[in-house]
Structure 1
Amino acid sequence: MQNWGWILLASGGLICTVGIGLLIASRFSWLGRLPGDIRIEEGGVRFYFPLVTCIVLSVLLSAILSIARLWWR
């Protein structure tokens, strides 16, 4: 039962982190509208893939996690 408790705590922490991230991201109106994001609108069909936004967020998260890993060593 102890393992389930840790799994539930980790899941709850992840959900809280994602929620806080969404609240903070809503303040950045440019997020998701960078040059290079793919947007196709034809007729009643819309396709949107934020390619450059994903790359920028990936680089930022990788840098933050690398710094955190070095700091906790």
Structure 2
Amino acid sequence: MNPVAKMLIGLGIVLIMIGLIWQIGGRFLPLGRLPGDIVVEKENFKFYFPVMTSIILSIVLTVLSLIFRWFR
């Protein structure tokens, strides 16, 4: 099989898994509303910066890339 096709199939499976985890896990782990996320609300202004969510996603993506590299 063509290596590009394998990569696209693998990427599709990973995206489906992420979508399912996001859909199911969103009820239990409120990504985007974690302690440590910065929210500033004023009368006509709302500033939102998800610091803790960014850190968690970075750790998860790093672990996934290490796992993929390990099985390569």
State the 4+ residue runs in structure 1 displaced beyond 3 angstroms.
18-29
- Could you list the per-position Cα deviations for residues 30-55 of structure 1 after superposition, in whole angstroms to 9, with x for gaps in the alignment? 01000000000011100000010000
For 1:30 and 1:19, locate their aligned partners in 2 and report how far apart those are by CA, in whole Å: 14
Task: Find the aligned partners of 1:32 and 1:69 in 2 and give their Cα distance.
Answer: 28
How large is the Cα RMSD of the aligned pairs? Answer: 3.0
Query: Matched residues, percent identical?
Result: 45
Q: AA paired with 2:41?
A: E
Q: Give the alignment's TM-score, normalised by structure 1.
A: 0.60
SS in 1 for 2:41: strand
Q: Which residue in 1 is equivalent to 2:45?
A: 45
Q: For the structure 1 residues 62 and 20, does the alpha-carbon distance in structure 2 shift closer, same or farther, using more than 3 Å as the test?
A: same
Structure 2 residue ranges without an equivalent (≥5):
1-15
